[in-house]
Copies of this chain bind each other. A is one copy, B any other.
Amino acid sequence: MKDQSEMKPYVIGLDLGGTNSVFGIVDARGDIKATTAIKTQGYDRVEDYVDACVDALQVIIDQVGGIDTIKAMGIGAPNGNFYTGTIEFAPNLSWAHNGVVPLAKMFSERLGNIPVGLTNDANAAAVGEMIYGVARGMKNFIVLTLGTGVGSGIVINGQLVYGCDGFAGELGHVIMRRENGRPCGCGRKGCLEAYCSATGVARTARELLATTQEPSLLREMDPEKITSLDVSIAAGKGDKLAKEIYEFTGHMLGEACADMAAFASPEAFIFFGGMTKAGDLIMEPIKKSYDEHVMKIFRGKAKFLVSGLDGASAAVLGASAIGWEL
């Protein structure tokens, strides 16, 4: 007898960000059938947040034929723990900053007891790539998300790596510089994230401006206000210093990937997030540095890919993909 859930054509995805909570109802091909959003903040109690979510969701659930068409829901959220379905001490969420919130269970109870899975956004991105994106058919790959921070989702033997506690896959926090490393938001020094996140790129810009005489469009700005977007715009105009910033960033990412290969020998490294818009400016230094640094037996084996998920809806697609895995 066929499992009834096989007949349900949709999953709900929730991209739970610090500012917005974006919902999508998605089919197995990754087509978003309906979408809606609410503000994440403005709720003191998680119950009120979930109430507002369900009110918004009900409209799009009705649009696709009611709750009986929904197989499951996936949530991508900061500090999300897949094992427990909870958000734990998320500093940027007013209703979850000082406790453990059982968000998956709460949504399930309000949505006819459908299965609800929750994980962090980088893990959601990895499952999204496996189900809808460039990792379809792959069993071993690593997604690196280059955003405000550097996150990662690791798939080994076709399964997401959660570790013993649900928090595995913090590759933004491997140590790349053990001497004079940059301070990182995690309280340690020399982490990959301190160099290769958007804030790391801006810091590299300030350092290069201060330590070189290279002319650059970036010199026209207040150094303290330079962002990774400014670097990207300058590089797009052919600015040599901006290109050097990407070379430095890509070089370090390639070094880091070489160590990751020694661990997992993945079929591909997949890059996700705003910085990938720089295209070859960032991808070529990554590949070059990887080839220089990786063990000989791994050389030439891994692919370096940019996310196959559509930028605007990538996070919702990733979150929804968790639903298919439940």
Q: Is the CB of A266 within 8 A of B140?
A: no
Q: Is A170 on the interface with B (CB-CB < 8 A)? A: yes
Complex interface: chain B residues within 8 A of A260 (CB): 263
- Give Cα A186 to B296, complex, Å: 8
Q: Is the CB of A296 within 8 A of B187?
A: yes
**How many residues on chain A are close to B (CB under 8 Å)?**
44
| Residues A263 and B165 in contact in the complex (CB < 8 Å), given A186-B296, A187-B296, A295-B173 | no
- Give Cα A179 to B169, complex, Å: 26
- Give chain B nearest CB distance to A145 CB in angstroms: 15
Q: CB within 8 Å of B: which residues of A?
A: 139-140, 154, 156-157, 159, 161-171, 173-179, 186-188, 255, 258-260, 262-267, 293, 295-298, 301-302
Closest 10 CB pairs of A and B: A163-B265, A168-B265, A164-B267, A170-B262, A174-B259, A173-B262, A140-B164, A157-B159, A168-B264, A156-B156
Known: A157-B157, A175-B258. 18 other contacts (CB 8 A): A140-B164, A156-B161, A157-B161, A161-B263, A162-B265, A164-B265, A165-B297, A166-B265, A167-B265, A170-B297, A171-B262, A171-B263, A173-B262, A174-B263, A175-B259, A179-B179, A188-B293, A263-B264
